[in-house]
Structure 1
Amino acid sequence: MHKSIILGTGPAGLTAAVYLARANMEPLVIEGPEPGGQLTLTTEVENFPGFPDGIMGPELMDNMKKQAERFGASFKRGWVTDVNVDHRPFRLSVDGLGELETQTLIVSTGASAKLLEIPGEKENIGKGVSTCATCDGFFFRGKKVVIIGGGDSAMEEANFLTKFASEVQIVHRRHELRASKIMQDRAKANEKITWALNKTPVEMVSDGMKISGLKVKDNDSGEEELLETDGIFVAIGHNPNTEFLKGKLNMDEKGYILVDPGTTDTNVPGVFACGDVQDQKYRQAITAAGTGCMAAMDTERFLEGEASIDWSETLNK
């Protein structure tokens, strides 16, 4: 029986582990197939407080894990296939670990950026291919970049990138954009933004060290052309990693876990959610870490509240 189990080892889960471990709650952290979360795909992190010269994403995550371990958190690798939160203790089925029981559960499984799944994409993430303009836009100061997408997020990130890049070209596979009119108008009014509509990306081209171009196909003529660029930003949305929790916790239509405003409380008492799994707006390492702290404190207070209840008296009423 565990006092608390944490699912996920991104900034949210690891921060929760640090706080719970320091409170002598000996949390168990379940590492999924991508320990460290999205930051392990980032080369250099320059916007996390406390590192004036920046820090490599994998190193930052490794430091957080070591900090949690120092205070007594334990880590095990496994893949959660099922969760029973109908009653406590909660039961988790984990490949490689069997069945686990816990008094409380923190879900920090994050969200995964949707990718195009085209040649040259995955192998060049961190080498000119990015899924986060806020994280990596600074590295393209004075450079020419391409952003792929047609929704509000793509328009917002395109405008953001013009603060750094000399030119931002928006590539979208349709003639019409999915973005709201106000976001479209804002992008179209930006002199640094150019357009490549009705074109489907087919390959990301690099010299082995960095991106040099995006090969696209015209959907009408079928002709292919190479758009020369120094960087490619994929902005086609995110998928929260909550498939295993469907029907068990309240979620929105996209699968993000719903929490009570100002807390990490889900609709199931004793289950808390933090990080990108419940945040589709900010999606930053520092905001995820902040909600990880909240989840740990919410967990501790939940268990302390139970400890103060005289259950014998309550049951006799």
Structure 2
Amino acid sequence: MSNESSRLQLTGGQQRRVVRERLYRWILFLCAALSVFVTVSIVVALAVDAVQFFEMVHPVEFFTGTTWITNREQFGVLPLVTGTVLVTAVAAVIAVPVGVGAAVYLSEYASDRARAVLKPGLEILAGIPTVVYGYLALVYLTPFLRTLGIELGTFNVLSASIMVGVMIIPMVSSLSEDAMSAVPDALREAGYALGGTKYDVSTGVVIPAAVSGIFASFILALSRAIGETMIVVMAMGLRPKMLDLTNPTASLTESGQTMTSAMVQAVTSDVGAQSPTYKSMFALGLTLFAITFLMNYLSNRISERYREEYQ
């Protein structure tokens, strides 16, 4: 009698575990599906209104035009694209070397005590509101650069780009440090056994082994820089200008506009919901989404190409 009751209890307990596992599986599936659903919904919402915009403004005019003046219904996106690219490029020049250098120090040189202080400090830097960065760029950074002899307007691309670069440093350093920490110690020990110094091992062994993760951090950080809004609105201004390819440094000292700030201007302007100016916000958003999607796709492809697998 006792053997039969114990078998029933074991069978009942196993059935309950199976039911719980199925329930957990469906809950986790719904969480994953929800994120996909939200992404698809955003793209569809952008596409629907973007199509309405392109019914009023020809796509060729939008993608090849060199003038963005909404009051005159001139919607050439190239000045906004070049402004976005310029800000992102300068930010990358600042964030990539500093971020990778910080990651190498945290991963290879820093003691446990120093790492316990520095890494949370970098992560706190990532949590500072971007409006604070914009305020610092406008009120403090621009006057400081003027004292160095750089002639800058009140609103300029250089100050905004520097602050965007500072903002994405924590992302580059944290993700790169995680990639470097994942490199097996056996590779480091092999480098030291061959007579390499810590610098030789860091630059010749660890960084090449973690290059896929480091590159992924670059792309994610640059995608974040492309989508930045408040810093460029406050420090860069709202005057779209084409990049002067003959003298690109001159464009840094003047005001400009990015795609994100143009979207803010479109949604806050006093226009009707069916006007081309309002609908341009969705065309810009779809264009911005396409750019960031392409960057992330290339990042994944390159990471897969150069990813190192260790047993």
Coarse TM-score class (shorter-chain normalised): under 0.3
Give TM-score scaled by structure 1 length. 0.25
Higher normalized helix content (fraction of residues): 2
Decide which structure has the larger Cα Rg and report it.
2
Q: Using CA pairs under 8 Å that are at least 6 residues apart, name the structure with larger relative contact order, 1 or 2.
A: 2
